[in-house]
Amino acid sequence: MPVRLFNTLTRTVEDFVPLDPAGKKVGLYCCGPTVYDFAHIGNIRTFVFADLTRRWLEFSGFDVQHVMNITDVEDKIIRKVRETGQSLAEFTGKYEGEFFKDLETVHCLRPHQSPRATEHIPEIIALIARLLERGIAYQAADGSIYFSIEKYRGCGCKYGQLVNLNFDGMRVGERVASDEYEKESMADFALWKARVPEDGVVFWPSPWGDGRPGWHIECSAMSMKALGESFDLHLGGEDLAFPHHEDEIAQSEGATGKPFVKHWMHGYHLLVEGRKMSKSLGNYFTLRDLLAKGFTGREVRFLLLSAHYREQFNFTLEGLIAAKTALSRLEQRLSEVRNHGANAQSKSVSLNDSLIAQVSAAMSDDLNVSEAWGRIFQWVTQTSQKLKSNELSEDDAAAAWRTWTKIAQGIFGIVPLQAVGASLTVSWNVEAHPPELLALLEDRQAARKAKDFKRSDAIRDELKAKGWIIEDTTKGPRLKKT
Ligand code: AMP
Ligand code: ZN
């Protein structure tokens, strides 16, 4: 079954076919963090999406080379360095370290390469020189080098491959120096920014005088160095499609004359009350904010993986609590299955191929996680019912546990609880409990619904014996320590 993925270039879901004639090797580049602050969980959503894409390709048999750059010099960083009085490396080094810790907390695989922009100044300069040679770049009066959209289009190249652009209002030669700008203010953009006093000591020598690179050229230089002039897959958040990725295409194709990237994927934003979670709006949570509230990285990951990457997703703490509870229930049921199969006699425990096929079909359909989780939840409910009615053999239970482990770990990066030895602790403002308590609570609800009050009383007594009392509130039952 081919892996099918949406391609922003063609605006369609298409078969993913790598450039490698053997169809095996895949070069994947995901724009990395700008290390000027802690990452917020919107940023983390994009990196979890990249990790999921990589895992799914690997699970499908591809040999992925995953590259994620570190943007350690750009406008915002320079501003912060100036404000804090630290050296560039000191300042960015701290946030880079914290970023990798965050990635580990949410169980992202470490990219194979994480090039830093500041360590690729010679490659950046060489790329700009190629654009100058081809007449697509020019030097402005202040010494800065700009990319000429007019010259690029004049060579028969298309500016506006990822987004539709309206060139009517564009004045030839108009320039934009900042790294971020809107489609409406499209203009020639800076490749090399001549040194200004505000840059302090952040500058490098170049054939065009002291200065520093623009943000977009950094990614063109690093991705092509790591993966070649043409590669398979380029990812990032939806806000990067323009201008960052459009400019990456223009710079790379303008310099090499070859197609830059075959397949582009963009993860949609994490929202807060309908608006993009962002530093500038101040409406953000960092991962550490959530850990301080008692949530774990795997719970945050589970929440982020519950929505399709091409769906904007509204973040709420209630949503995170619900995800935590759902994961804990799922794992409670699976731990009962695991215990039942712990002494399975069969030497070679098989896998549940049908579930793996269903989940695979969903994932190959543009990473349809909702469908995949739906299948998993359904299967867990059925397996759990079989266990309760003594219809699940020990061998089947062992196979079920193995299947879950393979899917959870291999595809979703949700390491099964037994493997991480994690405990379910009580979290902020939420009655979170060990899964066996939640299962009892759920059974009691079912008994009450069925008007089996004898059973519901028995469960209440059982919980009491364990040190918990049930409080029935308008929002449903809650457990309280006696
Ligand atoms: P930055 O560190 O700002 O360069 O961003 C790192 C990544 O996070 C980029 O791929 C952005 O597109 C992505 N990003 C920024 N804000 C959000 C958000 N609210 N939701 C999802 N991804 C985001
Ligand atoms: Zn980039």
pLDDT score, position 447: 74
How many angstroms separate the alpha carbon of residue 244 from the centre of ligand 2? 6
Ligand 1 nearest-atom number relative to CA 31: 10
The confidence score (pLDDT) of residue 454 equals 80
CA proximity to 247, closest of 80, 72, 79, 127: 127
What pLDDT score was predicted for residue 436?
A: 60
Q: Which atom of ligand 1 is nearest to the CA of 240?
A: 12
Q: What is the DSSP string of 184-245?
A: GG--EEEEEEEP-GGGTT--B--TT-SEEE-HHHHHHHHHHHHH-SSEEEEEEEGGGIIIII
Q: Phi, psi at residue 21, to the nearest 5°? A: -55, -30
Q: What angle do CA 84, 86, 88 make, to 5 degrees?
A: 115
Asked whether 206 lines ligand 1 (CB < 6 A), one says no
- Residue ID of nearest Cα to ligand 1 atom 9: 237
Q: What is the DSSP string of 436-463?
A: HHHHHHHHHHHHHHTT-HHHHHHHHHHH
Asked whether 42 lines ligand 1 (CB < 6 A), one says yes
Angle made by CA atoms 49, 51, 57, in degrees to the nearest 5: 105
Ligand nearest to the CA of 35: 1
Q: Whose CA is nearest to atom 12 of ligand 1?
A: 237
Ligand of minimum distance to the alpha carbon of 245 = 2
d(CA 387, CA 383): 6
CA of 110 to the centre of ligand 1 (A): 18
State if residue 283 touches ligand 1 by the CB under 6 angstroms criterion.
Answer: no
Cβ–ligand 1 contact at 226 (below 6 Å): no
Could you tell me if the CB of 236 is within 6 A of ligand 1?
yes
Domains of the chain in start order, with CATH, are: 4-267 (3.40.50.620), 420-482 (no CATH)
pLDDT tens track for 336-373: 999 999 888 766 668 999 999 999 999 999 999 999 99
Q: Which residues does 60 contact at the CB level (< 8 Å), separation at least 6? A: 3, 360, 364
What is the CA(74)–ligand 1 centre distance, in A? Answer: 15
Pick out the chain residues at pLDDT < 70. 346-349, 418-439, 442-443, 446, 474-476
The finding on whether 34 has its CB within 6 A of some atom of ligand 1 is yes
Q: Ligand 1 pocket check: which of 239, 273, 315 to mutate, most ligand atoms within 8 Å of Cβ?
A: 239
The confidence score (pLDDT) of residue 420 equals 37
> Does residue 33 line the site of ligand 1, with CB under 6 A?
yes
Neighbours of 348 (CB within 10 A): 6
Q: CA 286 to CA 234: how far, in whole Å?
A: 25
pLDDT in the model for residue 457:
85
Rounded (10°) CA dihedral 252, 253, 259, 260 = 10
Mutate to test the pocket of ligand 1, among 31, 36, 43 (most ligand atoms within 8 A of CB): 43
**Statement: the pTM of the whole predicted model exceeds 0.85:** yes
Query: Up-side HSE of residue 47: CA atoms within 13 Å toward CB?
Result: 30
Pocket lining: 115 vs ligand 1, CB cutoff 6 Å: no
Which residues lie closer than 8 Å to 439 by C-beta, 6 or more apart?
329, 332, 333, 336
For residue 270, which atom of ligand 1 is closest to its CA?
20
Local structure of 337: helix, strand or coil: helix
Q: Is the CB of 244 under 6 A from ligand 1?
A: no
* Ligand 1 pocket mutation, candidates 31, 38, 46, criterion most atoms within 8 A of CB: 46
pLDDT score recorded for residue 442: 66
The rounded Å distance from CA 76 to ligand 2 centre is 15
